[in-house]
Amino acid sequence: MSVSEKNYTTKDSIQVLEGLEPVRKRPSMYIGSVDSKGLHHLVWEIVDNSVDEYLNGHGDVITVTLHKSGDAITVADNGRGIPVDIDPKHKKSGLELVLTVLHAGGKFGDTDGYHFSGGLHGVGASVVNALSRKLIATVRRDGFEWKQNFVRGKPTTKVEKIAPFRGHGTSIYFEPDETIFKTIKFNPEDIKTHLEDMSYIHSGLKIFFKNDVAGETHDLTHPGGIPEYLQRMITEGQKPAVAEVPFSAARTTGDMMEVAVQWTESTDEVIRSYVNGIRTASGGTHENGFKSALVKAVRDYIETHKINVKGIAITSEDVREGIVGVLSVFVREPMFQGQTKERLNNPEMTAAVESFVRPALETWLNSNVTAANNIIYRVIQSAKARLASREAANKERKTAGSRRLNLPGKLADCKSTDVNKSELFIVEGDSAGGSAKQGRDNLTQAVLPLRGKILNGEGLTTTKALGNQELSDLVSAIGTGAGEKFDIAGLRYGKIILLMDADADGHHISTLMLDFFFRHMPELIKKGHVYIAQPPLYRLDVGKERLWAMDDNHKEEIISKLKVNAKYDVTRFKGLGEMDAKDLRETTLDRNSRMLLKVEIDNPLKADETFDHLLGKDAIHRYNEIMNNADKVAAEEIDV
């Protein structure tokens, strides 16, 4: 037995984490990440608990306050209030158990009064407590107001009876721990958008957002519910509807369900699904049942009315192209994939949703013949376009089959031909390209340098866009073609990584690149092949230690944590070309130490509008953005 094997088997090598230690040690296991997304997930966890009270008939008002500091949140509701009496088994109050013990709560039994809940794991409140430098819980119940304070998950006071109080409810104030998160500043717009989405799903719930940073209070209540939500999504996407009348249906018995859908002239499919009021961004079994119901109902209508499709095989993608849909289900015992609850795994929900949506949609189609015929025409046109695109691609492949692949000369290709292992770094300029080529792993990493800012392809046809040599070289290197000639089978790299300078120019080039991919090669993004590298903007030399900062805020955060009177030197990189190949490899290229952002499109309609505003011909949107936000930017932040 080797020394390492012997050490591994001794009891001293086994570490047992108690209480909330596992959460602080591995926060990403509980909230997905420690970036801005994970930070805001703390808010959603507490809000979900308040929504659970509403779902089960207790309380109908939730108020979320972003305090003036920008890094503190209060979530208050008028529910029953977390129990404060002492638990005889654990000798602690119910409030302390909920906030300090994983899997403690009132949602595990069959008779605890929670028919529907998004917080069935019982870890949400305790995880927020563990990852907060400070948390204050205020409970109003049993005729009194009660309070208890916590620091990084540990109680610093016992539950105190503050004063008599007639009402009921719970208020949670928390400040995220700056030693855990990369940033602790909340984004007011993200919070407002999330809460407004929830108000559509729970049409009887009153939701208020107080943004003390801007001195604003927003009433986000939407009694129109999901049908109103659907119309907002279509309006924001600025895509004309094929059928003016949307389809909507609701079931209020058993596992409650509600759905609304409308076909548009967009080529994208946009479905937002929810389980017990929680957004399931990655879909799941309920969404699978919804999609299946749409396809089967449309096919049944075509067969019943003997519509001649002239030998065209209608695929499920043809039916769903252009739909904008919202699905909300309430399940008594949801099985989520992970604590972040982004996917539903209950196997029975596929059949349950399909058996509800399909007959309702079939009835609607037969009752709205004009709308139905417009939808069927839309589906047939989609199928024809797909077949025409496939024929063009086949013709192109046959023509090019005997020709050698013509790769751009400035591409430093990798040796591997395994798509799953190979990566293409698109870098800004020959200087940065030189550093990247020296620092890369030439077995699996290829480098393609670009000369300055690429052509703005917003509003251009694919043919015109590819008239630009830089974009033409890029498409040749990727191997898929673009526009109607795009074929994912030709993909040469599993990861296409934008590696730009960490400054304003670099961000602008990244935006231009993303717009090109979104407009002319959208499947690359949809199938998860596009990433953005995160190179550092600063290097901090502290004695013999070398630290890296992503931006100004990160730099200041690192400096604030240094010992008093510690000496340090700060270097700001004007571009990646100034970094040694070794440093670039360590911070940005090495798979074991780098950080990549995966590009995902949560809402294609909103993305379409955003690119149009940022890069389109009408400059009024950019002017308004600058005028509305100029006062929020400090002079030293402007990159001239």
Within 54-143, strands assigned E span 61-66, 73-77, 86-87, 92-93, 132-141
Distance, CA of 432 to CA of 223 (rounded, Å)? 54
State the CB neighbour count (10 A cutoff) for residue 207: 24
Q: Which two tokens stand for residue 343?
A: 């996917």
Nearest to 300 by CA among 353, 379, 244, 241: 379
The helices-and-strands tally (H runs, E runs) of the chain is 21, 24
Annotated catalytic, 503?
Answer: yes
Calculate the CA dihedral of residues 204, 79, 102, 279 and round it to 10 degrees: 10
501 is catalytic: yes
* Integer Cα distance of 54 and 199 in angstroms: 12
Name which of 108, 173, 84 is nearest 135 in CA terms. Answer: 173
H helix runs in 32-89, sequence order: 36-55
> Is residue 85 flagged as an active site residue?
no
**Single-letter code of the amino acid located at 135:** L
Task: Please pick, among 52, 53, 71, 501, the residue that the annotation labels catalytic.
Answer: 501
Catalytic option among 236, 484, 503, 551 = 503
Give the per-residue SS3 of 270-303: EEEEEECCEECCCCEHHHHHHHHHHHHHHHHHHH
Q: What CA–CA distance (Å, rounded) separates 490 from 378?
A: 29
From residue 24, alpha-carbon distances to 223, 395, 427, 486, 592 in Å are 40, 57, 36, 45, 22
Q: What are the angstrom distances between the C-alpha of 496 and each of 420, 456, 477, 532?
A: 11, 19, 10, 8
230-247 burial, b for 16+ CB within 10 Å, e for fewer? bbbbbeebebebbbeebb
Where would I find the H helices in 131-284? 188-201, 225-237
Beta-sheet strand order (sheet of 569-572): 545-549, 538-542, 569-572
What CA–CA distance (Å, rounded) separates 320 from 361? Answer: 14
| Structure-token match 């932040």, residue found | 637
Nearest to 289 by CA among 379, 358, 360, 243: 358
Active-site position among 145, 177, 428, 487: 428
- The residue type found at 103 is H
HEC secondary structure over 8-41: HHCHHHCCCCCCCHHHHHCCHHHHCCCCHHHHHH
Name the catalytic one among 505, 551, 552, 612.
505
| 45 in catalytic set | no
Contacts for 604 with CB less than 8 Å, ≥ 6 apart: 237, 266, 268, 269, 270
- Return contacts of 386-391, CB within 8 angstroms, 24+ apart: 386/315, 386/317, 386/318, 387/312, 388/484, 389/484
Catalytic residues: 428, 501, 503, 505
